[in-house]
Amino acid sequence: MHPRINIKVVGDGVAARGCARLLDRSGFGLMLEGSPRPKIPAIMIGATTQGLFRDTFGRADLFRGLPAITRRVVAWGPGSDELTLPHSAVIASEEDLLARLPSPTESAETTDANWTIIASRPLPEGCSEQHFGSRTARAVPVRLREDADRAACWVESMAAGWLFLIPCANDGGWLLEVGAPGDMLLPGSRLVSRQIAKAAGEAVLFPAYPRIAWPLCGPGWLACGAAALSFDPLCGDGSGNAIREAILAAAVLRAIQRGGDEAALLAHYRGRLLAGFKRHLEVCEGFYRTGGSTSWWRAQHQAVCAGAEWCARELAGTPIGRYRIRGFDLEET
């Protein structure tokens, strides 16, 4: 029998909760270290991600009662027509989502950890952040017009940025403005502005460019969730990626506990996260290539392309096909 591994989980977001849930269920000793930070005001959670949450936390009713989105209305590119597409998601604040998840409890019989999962900043010594872009986002609480469709979300590109509007409970919503510093995008909108009655609070500023911690793991530690990867909100599924990373991190540690090849397992973890980040950048590339023709759009497109090229260089020669996830465990292929 292999000795019991004690694991410290740093953070209290989706990734930290997912890791703690899966590792506790597998009999690991848990040490928890919270890391308070501002919570995201609104998260759109797609149908596939909802299934991952239900399976991970064992809660079939996890998203019951949350506002549902069934349509996405898009006006993307100069002079483009409005396009309505089917969508399937629910809306929750991060605070509400975390309140619905089971709270982990410490179970380690010692204060010594064999491994640390870092799911919240700061990063460990020797680890730095690679970032691709300089976009700033303004998240503004708004009141929707009476005739705004509460089952839709709206996305619109502008000359110097883009807008994303999602409805919340009652007549509220959140407007995300991403663009040139100091540029107020909403007055020039032809789609999103028609849905908004007025602003309902102060804007919150945050970076909206993709970034990755490097390296992502090392002897005795793994970065996970937002501490590992931060995605562009234009086409990133932050909560979905966080829970997927938690599933993989827990599977890697279970495989190490069983006596697996530690170096190979860490290389697989690093490669899988890096490959996922590269796919995200490749999706972003199409949006920033077609969103507009101004210098702002060209600069963002160049930054995204530079990120994809960096990922390709780092992935060269990285073996990521030795293992695969089956259920919540890794097995050799």
Structural domain boundaries of the chain? 6-41+93-132+209-332, 136-207
Helix (H), strand (E) counts: the chain: 6, 19
Instruction: Provide the 8-state DSSP code for 239.
Output: H
Do 22 and 57 touch, CB atoms closer than 8 A?
no
pLDDT bucket at 148, cuts 50 / 70 / 90: very high
In this structure, of 35-39, 58-62, 320-324, 325-329, the range with the lowest mean pLDDT score is 35-39
Q: What is the pLDDT of residues 50-88, one digit of tens each?
A: 999 999 999 999 999 999 999 999 999 999 999 999 999
H or E, element range at 173: strand 172-179
Round to whole Å and give the CA distance between 330 and 22: 13
pLDDT bucket at 3, cuts 50 / 70 / 90: low
Q: Determine the Cα angle at 243 with ends 21 and 142, to 5°.
A: 115
**Given the structure tokens 């680890």, which residue do they identify?**
127
Round to whole Å and give the CA distance between 133 and 231: 11
CA distance between the termini of the chain: 24
Superfamily name with CATH number, domain 6-41+93-132+209-332: FAD/NAD(P)-binding domain (3.50.50.60)
Q: Furthest-apart CA pair in the chain: how many Å?
A: 66
Question: Rounded to whole angstroms, what are the CA distances from 220 to 9, 112, 229, 262, 320?
Answer: 12, 12, 19, 10, 20
Across 272-293, average pLDDT: 96
Tell me, what's the pLDDT at 1? 42
Residue 168 has pLDDT above 50, yes or no: yes
My answer on whether omega of the bond before 210 falls inside 30° of 0, hence cis, is no
Write down how long the chain is: 333
Tell me, what's the pLDDT at 159? 93
Tell me, what's the pLDDT at 260? 94
Q: What are phi and psi of 80, to 5 degrees?
A: -75, 150
Q: What is the pLDDT of residues 169-187, one digit of tens each?
A: 889 999 999 997 666 799 9
Q: Of 243, 279, 317, 307, which is closest to residue 51 (Cα–Cα)? A: 243
> What is the architecture, at CATH level 2, of domain 136-207?
2-Layer Sandwich (3.30)
Round to whole Å and give the CA distance between 104 and 143: 36
Round to whole Å and give the CA distance between 239 and 14: 7
pTM (2 d.p.): 0.94
> Which residues on neighbouring strands pair with residue 174, listed in sequence order?
141, 166
Beta strands at 136-144 and 204-207: parallel, antiparallel or unpaired: antiparallel
Round to whole Å and give the CA distance between 168 and 151: 10
Question: Rounded to whole angstroms, what are the CA distances from 65 to 88, 91, 97, 187?
Answer: 15, 10, 12, 34
Q: Convert 27-54 to b/e letters by CB count within 10 Å (16 or more is b).
A: ebbbbbbeeeeeebbbbbbbeebbebbe
Extract the tokens encoding 114.
Answer: 């064999």
Across 151-165, average pLDDT: 96
DSSP 14-72: HHHHHHHHHHHHTT-EEEEE----PPPS-EEEEHHHHHHHHHHHT-TTTTTT--EEEEE
Tell me, what's the pLDDT at 97? 96
